[in-house]
Chains A and B, each alone.
Chain A
Amino acid sequence: MPEINVTPLGAGQDVGRSCILVSIGGKNIMLDCGMHMGYNDDRRFPDFSYITQNGRLTDFLDCVIISHFHLDHCGALPYMSEMVGYDGPIYMTHPTKAICPILLEDFRKITVDKKGETNFFTSQMIKDCMKKVVPLNLHQTVQVDDELEIKAYYAGHVLGAAMVHIKVGSESVVYTVSVNKYAKSHISAWIDKCRPDILISESTYATTIRDSKRCRERDFLKKVHETIERGGKVLIPVFALGRAQELCILLETFWERMNLKAPIYFSTGLTEKANHYYKLFITWTNQKIRKTFVQRNMFEFKHIKAFDRSYADNPGPMVVFATPGMLHAGQSLQIFKKWAGNEKNMVIMPGYCVQGTIGHKILNGQRKLEMEGRATVRLLISFALTKRLIHVGKLLACVFCFHTLQLDVKLQVEYMSFSAHADAKGIMQLIRMAEPRNMLLVHGEAVKMEFLKGKIEQEFSIDCYMPANGETATVTTNPSVPVDISLNLLKREMALGGPLPDPKKPRTMHGTLIMKENSLKLVSSEQALKELGLNEHQLRFTCRVQLQDPHSDPDTLHRIYTHLKSVLKGYTIQHLPDGTVMVESIVIKVSSSAEDTNAKVLLLSWSYQVKHRHCPCSRLSKLGQKHNRLKT
């Protein structure tokens, strides 16, 4: 039985470092190649030695597919392709191809230039890696080779995010990142009822069922507004690209409508560029934005200005979007520390936070934070130096001298799941759409996955897998065999069922399957014999019936003939000159035995092909006996 194997190298019962190996129909595909935000050592990249211990991966992988530009899905790509070694095709959508190298370069800068790590990929490696990228268009069927084809669907998670349908013969797998259920509002259809053998889905928000988006938006605006009104500052930690742009649009229109004056800032230099990408790739955003883009490009903001570090100390209310989104490093963390002590302020976490990050801690209600920083001679600037990842610290702590800093969190902490990860409802909807035969969950916490797994198995009665990293889930498939049937044969069978075949009434057909050089042809037996130059094997039956009749042989035959004619209505009966009677294709002969001329032997002969139901043989032989009795 053919089978499909799925092995996560990352994101198996875990969030971050997505990297899933799929082998299907003899092809090996790597889905995503991400890094883990929570680690700074070897564990940050997937363990590629699982694929091969020595050497390059090119021989072992047919292609790599990247679902979207978040680093936990593409962060290990240059490491994999340039340092481990992979020269095959890497597929991603156009927006991903545009934005991914920028984020990789940013990531590299932080790691190498600021943290001083060596043995990391270089700028040149990122460029070389991107040269191996083949851009994907939505719905385009890409033939990776003769057998393997992939097709991308709109996923709506972030700009350029895609679901991929991977198909070899009649086996298929769908891989989807966090599907945004609002994806349906996009002009292109969501996903067809493609009935894949396995649907691999992220399950980051497996247990949350979020209220409507509009409610959340209203709630968000209300909270921001209240804080501004009482003179507080609002910090919104975000990732540079993605939901940040949507929140910007939301605030921008709100400010316009309410005529608010408090400044809105967006940190990091990437933003302007990011907005520019959104402008050029507007066909990948939602329909509302696309519709109005000629009159007013939504990504040209009037109220939102670039942030400068010194603004954080300005008095009065303000709203700041700062990166990164989990408060684990960088500007968002810096601002957080400055504002944490004032209860008038507010931090709104618009997305998921990985365990170990400050974001995760404060969302879990922790009010006193232990901040570790690399100690320097001048304690005064310790704030600036804690810039990069704190929670990784333990390892480094042995090497460097650390000091601990107590931070009281007095500001309000709000959580709003604006991040576009799939929630339970979205996943269930997707299953309903695609109708997979099996489900496989990745990129989520084990406990939550377990919950969703139960729900899926109960509701859809399909098997649901959730392999851990390095574990393989195996699904046996049962593909049907495509065969070319001769049209004559098909039509003949159809004609038997009447002029208009009743689709509910299946028809029986008999044919011969010829297997020759990878081709399978189903033809009628006669055609097969002709094509293969074979002679038909004739199977004949002859049955002897003894009867007493004083007449001569020809007379007996003639009497039988006339008798049959009167009894067997509706059959063609012929009396041939060579002394035989034919009833359809059944031959009847008469011979008399040498000893007793009255004892006649009736020979009935028919071939195997004569269909049983139409065959008058049995009646004939009975007739013979009757005849016999009559005479005697």
Chain B
Amino acid sequence: MKVKMLSRNPDNYVRETKLDLQRVPRNYDPTLHPFEVPREYVRALNATKLERVFAKPFLASLDGHRDGVNCLAKHPKSLATVLSGACDGEVRIWNLTKQKCIRAIQAHEGFVRGMCTRFCGTSFFTVGDDKTVKQWKMDAPAYGEEEEPLHTILGKTVYTGIDHHWKEAVFATCGQQVDIWDEQRTSPICSMTWGFDSISSVKFNPIETFLLGSCASDRNIVLYDMRQSTPLKKVILDMRTNTICWNPMEAFIFTAANEDYNLYTFDMRALDTPVVVHKDHVSAVLDVDYSPTGKEFVSASFDKSIRIFPVDKSRSREVYHTKRMQHVICVKWTSDSKYIMCGSDEMNIRLWKANASEKLGVLTSREKAAKDYNQKLKEKFRHHPHIKRIARHRHLPKSIYSQIQEQRIMKEARRRKYVLRHLTLSQYSFLTSLISPKTNKKLPFREVVYVLLLYIRDVFEDFSRGLFSPFFSVMGEAMII
């Protein structure tokens, strides 16, 4: 007779050694887990809240300059080394890990206008108000040696910017014109001009290294080809562009920091319209730098804040400010893509985390998994109103906040004006008849019409697309304004 009984294979539940984790049998059948969405939602909510709780981006302030910091430069090889030039002509080299200045040079008389490092990291170049270009050794002079530049080139006019080629011993300066220099020569290999206004900044393309972009004070951005030694194309914007920065991962994309509070990302092959207009600053944008991953960039503004924008979004992801930080003049994203440095008017260089709530230091695998999971949860539920609200919440200084409000009102007013101006008579009468067919003559208020238009747009959005499309096209134009 066969006796039927329960039997289990001990391999399925017995540990091999004492150190093994206990096997936890799990049934992943979805019918057994009816509350997975709500549970994940709560987890996402918590993750978002914790993100805001731990968002402490400010790391350190490097003080030592005796005037406003005018320019910053990254060391191409060493992550810990940063160079800064001040408005009094002093150049300082900093060690970020120690958060200390390791060398200070009185490089120029007057401003240090621009600064760049050689691609190999052995020397760096500075230009100043004293019409000179100087090349310096990266290493400090030996004991007893005098601090002297390797080379000095005396120019005829003031140079306002400098950038080094990414692969060769060539650098470019700008001022009256864009000059391209060989490091070994004292006269430029070629100079390129287009127009007569002074050029404020010049940048080499990091990928297609023969390309250059410059921006001048006659509101234009000019692109040059170094090989053909000719300007390629010019874009004229509404206001002056302070500087541009090339995307290090996408050869033809660059972003221009403009005086009109906006940043414009262009595809250099099609300069007619910018790819994205990044708006959020409430004052002139002074500097911009890409993250080395090419996915985001940081911008420094005259409104005493720096903002981080995703390249494909028109609104910023993050805003950094402190009480003591004044107009931010220069900003750099470190080449490990983890930190941001900004130099400001009040003589300090500040170090920030690129991700405000990121935990620094080595993470255990469980921490890493939790971080990834939380990140994914936040991404998954980012459209949910509560999570969205919490994730978007930022504290702003009162000045910036009020300015934002003010500008919003101004913009709304401009839009309304535009819409009403561009409403044709027939559209107008049609709208008034829509509001109240009987009291047609008693409602000539254009404002009411406008409100109604907005209402229609918001409420019957998809339903009335076809009916009101002419109005929306007008409104769409207004929104661009």
Q: Do A and B come from one complex?
A: no
B binding-site residues for A, Cβ under 8 Å = none
